[in-house]
């Protein structure tokens, strides 16, 4: 009898696979993912897969089950072990593997985990993720005699991270690994990087005892801000749970948001790629798109999601792309994937050869008044429906709407955005205005639309 497997309805997502351990995601799911994805690799002519995992408590068990599934399809699996997602992406490219799988819950709570995949040099997302579910549901697996071996790529990876550092002055930098998967590599990296380095929470601990590893939330940057102030640092850099998203603060402790970092990187990248297309997601500030244009680049607004941006970069031959959430992708000198450790090296290098501080580079952008990403609780099944309802009401009112990903609404005051998260059971919103009064009006418009769909805004919004 053919062995089949059915995944929980919320697990196979737009650009990765994600679930709650013991509830929607189990070792049996990991084994089926290995068999399903392995089947896709084998039938596409592949023979070798790299596998890595993050520091979550459930990751070791999931990795073992995944590898068992991959091996059963006839693949040779190179197990690179515990580390950041960027190390898995790098290993897959550097070793010429047919595919790569990273077991990670990214920035989600400790009881979440999931899988990020690449096939060849490209991310696996959308229909390809659904195909894994279809193969498993039919039990239509490839069968072969594979094998696995452990590979240590840490030193090779660290050397590659350091290769593009060309700072002139040595800086004082505070780094917050948030007890996430980047910790061990960060220790090795900063030991060789010029300057003074203060490390926070570099020990990998899946309980995340100090703060949640999500650098988009201001409360998670408080320890970093304190370390920058106490040690008189030039820069503070933070990572998420799997080290593919960067957060930063300047010497005064001000947060430098993801879209502001893209603008700073663009000032360097466009010197060697004049007229290049720089991509940012729909959550990014209008000041970023304006700055790219001012620097002689071609700004392109695209959908949120690391897989979607990587695919768009390849399509447009873009040297740089980024998200408000801190996923930043260099194809300039790098491989086009998001690696916050590499972004950290590039930031220290850029400031280290500039006659401006990070604060001064940030202040090139005109002042606007905006909210950070604001998340509103909405059930998995309900969140997409709410966006459709809002879009329909806006269409009926004749509002100016960009619907490339959710709804981004332009008014005389600025713009507001509402979209459904692909990784959490929330709606994500953002507002940006030219004045504080305008910001309040935009927030009121957003709250009005949410209320009309039965979603309550937090009292402090």
Q: Give CA–CA dist 320/334, Å, rounded.
A: 10
Q: Can you tell me whether residue 390 is helix, strand or coil?
A: helix
- DSSP class of residue 206? T
Per-residue pLDDT of the chain (461 residues; tens, 9 = 90+): 569 999 999 899 877 899 999 999 999 999 999 999 999 999 999 999 999 999 999 999 999 999 999 999 999 999 999 999 999 999 999 999 999 999 999 988 999 999 999 999 999 988 999 999 999 999 999 999 999 999 999 999 999 999 999 999 999 999 999 999 999 999 999 999 999 999 999 999 999 999 999 998 999 999 999 999 999 999 999 999 999 999 999 999 999 999 999 999 999 999 999 999 999 999 999 999 999 999 999 999 999 888 889 989 999 999 999 999 899 999 999 999 999 999 999 999 999 999 999 999 999 999 999 988 888 888 878 999 999 999 999 988 888 899 999 999 999 999 999 999 877 788 999 999 999 999 999 999 999 999 999 988 877 77
Domains of the chain: 17-152 (3.40.120.10), 156-362 (3.40.120.10), 369-452 (3.30.310.50)
Place of tokens 């090795």: 188
| DSSP structural state of residue 338 | B
What would the two tokens of residue 70 be?
A: 């991959």
| Rounded Cα gap, residues 412 and 419, in angstroms | 21
Residues paired with residue 10 on neighbouring β-strands, in sequence order: none
Contacts of residue 378, Cβ cutoff 8 Å, sequence gap at least 6: 386, 420, 425, 426, 427, 455
Residue 421 has a pLDDT of: 86
d(CA 120, CA 127): 16
Are the C-beta atoms of residues 326 and 216 closer than 8 Å to each other? Answer: yes
Are the CB atoms for 194 and 170 separated by under 8 Å? yes
Residue 397 annotated to the active site: no
How many H helices and E strands in the chain? 14, 22
- Please give the pLDDT value at position 373: 82
- How confident is the model at residue 11, as a pLDDT? 93
Burial category of 344 from C-beta neighbours within 10 Å (exposed 0-12, middle 13-18, buried 19 and up):
buried
Q: What is the pLDDT of residue 10?
A: 87
Distance CA 300, CA 180 (A): 32
List all residues 6 or more positions away from 112 whose beta carbon is below 8 Å from its beta carbon.
Answer: 18, 19, 20, 21, 56, 105
Global pTM exceeds 0.85: yes
CB 185 within 8 A of CB 355: no
Q: Which two tokens stand for residue 461?
A: 């919004």
Q: How far apart are CA 5 and CA 30, in angstroms?
A: 11
CB 327 within 8 A of CB 300: no
What angle (nearest 5°) sits at the alpha carbon of residue 152, between those of residues 148 and 158? 145
Q: Which is catalytic among the residues 106, 267, 307, 421?
A: 106
């Amino acid at each position: 009898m053919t062995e089949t497997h059915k995944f929980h309805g919320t697990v196979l997502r737009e650009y990765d696979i994600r679930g709650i351990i013991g509830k929607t995601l189990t070792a049996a799911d990991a084994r089926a993912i290995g068999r399903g994805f392995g089947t896709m690799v084998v039938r596409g002519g592949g023979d070798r897969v790299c596998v890595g995992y993050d520091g979550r408590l459930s990751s070791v068990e999931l990795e073992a089950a995944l590898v068992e599934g991959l091996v059963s399809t006839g693949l040779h699996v190179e197990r690179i072990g515990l580390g950041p997602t960027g190390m898995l992406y790098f290993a897959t490219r550097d070793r010429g593997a047919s595919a790569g799988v990273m077991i990670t819950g990214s920035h989600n709570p400790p009881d979440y985990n999931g899988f990020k995949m690449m096939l060849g040099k490209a991310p696996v997302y959308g229909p390809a993720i659904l195909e894994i579910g279809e193969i498993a549901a039919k039990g239509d697996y490839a069968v072969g005699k594979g094998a696995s071996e452990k590979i240590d790529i840490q030193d090779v990876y660290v050397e590659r991270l350091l290769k593009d550092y060309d700072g002139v002055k040595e800086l004082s930098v505070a780094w917050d690994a948030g007890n996430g998967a980047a910790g061990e590599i960060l220790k090795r990296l900063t030991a060789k990087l010029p300057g003074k380095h203060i490390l926070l929470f570099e020990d990998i601990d899946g309980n995340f005892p100090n703060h949640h590893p999500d650098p988009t939330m201001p409360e998670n940057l408080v320890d970093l801000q304190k370390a920058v102030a106490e040690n008189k640092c030039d820069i503070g850099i933070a990572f998420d749970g799997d080290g593919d998203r960067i957060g930063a603060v300047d010497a005064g402790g001000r947060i430098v948001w993801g879209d502001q970092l893209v603008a700073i990187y663009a000032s360097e990248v466009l010197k060697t790629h004049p007229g290049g297309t720089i991509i940012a997601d729909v959550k990014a500030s209008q000041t970023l798109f304006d700055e790219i244009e001012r620097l002689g680049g071609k700004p392109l607004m695209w959908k949120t999601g690391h897989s979607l941006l990587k695919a768009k970069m390849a399509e447009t031959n873009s040297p740089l792309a980024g998200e408000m959430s801190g996923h930043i992708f260099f194809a300039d000198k790098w491989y086009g994937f998001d690696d916050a450790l590499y972004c950290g090296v590039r930031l220290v290098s850029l400031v280290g050869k500039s006659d401006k501080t990070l604060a001064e580079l940030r202040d090139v952008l005109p002042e606007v008044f905006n909210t950070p990403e604001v998340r509103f609780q909405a059930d998995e099944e309900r969140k997409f429906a709410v966006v459709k309802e809002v879009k329909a009401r806006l269409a009926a009112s004749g509002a100016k709407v960009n619907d490339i990903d959710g709804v981004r609404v332009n008014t005389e005051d600025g713009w507001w955005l509402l979209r459904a998260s692909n990784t959490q059971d929330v709606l994500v919103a953002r507002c940006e205005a030219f004045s504080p009064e305008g910001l309040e009006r935009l927030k009121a418009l957003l709250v009005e639309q949410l209320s009309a769909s039965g979603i309550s805004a937090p009292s402090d919004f």
